[in-house]
Amino acid sequence: MLNIAVLSDIHGNYTALQKCLDHAIHKGIDTFIFLGDYLGELAYPQKTMELLYTVKEKYRCFFIKGNKEDYWINYEKEQKGWKEYDSTTGCLYYTYQNISEKDLQFFKSLLFTEELKFDGLPPITICHGSPRKADEKLLPDHENTFLIMENNPSGTILCGHTHIQGKIEHDGKIALNAGSVGISINSNGKAQFMILRGIQDKWNYEFVSLEYDAEKVIADLYSSGLNKKAPYWCKVSENLLRTGEIPHSTVLTRAMALCRDRSGACNWPDIPEECWEQAVNELIP
């Protein structure tokens, strides 16, 4: 029997990552699949990368590039558009400032999708968003998702990106979303990943949700100064870490709507802090 841990969307939450790794290793797992978005919203990204490199050295690992990795790669080329004290891009800028050349080269080495084959088991496709694009979501009961599944050569797709654990079945095929290790949604603030078991000639899966010290992660936002570099983005992160509710995209959409109401137009990333403040006050308890 082959046991694999599938982890996605860590977003710099090294505390949750350590909890998930400890749980998987305790279960005897020695193969890991990582589905991208390793850094992003949270403090001390170096600690997340150190953990990933350690796991990579000790165990058999497969890594896929997420849309966040493309952010760092593309910003290295252009070096414009992000600001240090800004709720829209402050976290992005902070993370970029705290990654190394080794990290960038690692991200550049990754594919955005790959088909994996293990002896005696059906092939599986791994991706961050979809097998077509890193930032494309596989959503339940959605025609685009069904089309992607129909055209995908393997019968099993492993994905992340939505931060919501779940499975989609269509036309004899299955897409399994591992959820988010670092900032999961609809999760009561738990760290989430998936265990995949190859038994005889088929795959079985188990969704895992774990309590971890989210208050430590929130404290890091303040000790690192990230709460000042991206104030309202961090307020959304803080609420998400505690509750698993109200994602950044929801608050961003509201902030942009308020920006358009004020000025007639709103182009990302030029969103005034006042709009962020109002959106957070409206949406976050």
Place of tokens 């290793």: 25
- The CATH homologous superfamily for domain 2-210 is Metallo-dependent phosphatases (3.60.21.10)
Residue 141 DSSP code: T
pLDDT of res. 111: 97
Over residues 151-166, the mean pLDDT reads 97
Task: List pLDDT tens digits, range 9-39.
Answer: 999 999 999 999 999 999 999 999 999 999 9
Residue 1 reports pLDDT greater than 90: no
Three-state secondary structure of 212-272: CCHHHHHHHHHHCCHHHHCHHHHHHHHHHHHHCCCCHHHHHHHHHHHHHHHHCCCCCCCCC
Whether the model pTM is above 0.75:
yes
Place of tokens 């994996």: 116
CB atoms within 10 A of CB 87: 27
In the chain, what are the domain boundaries? 2-210, 224-283
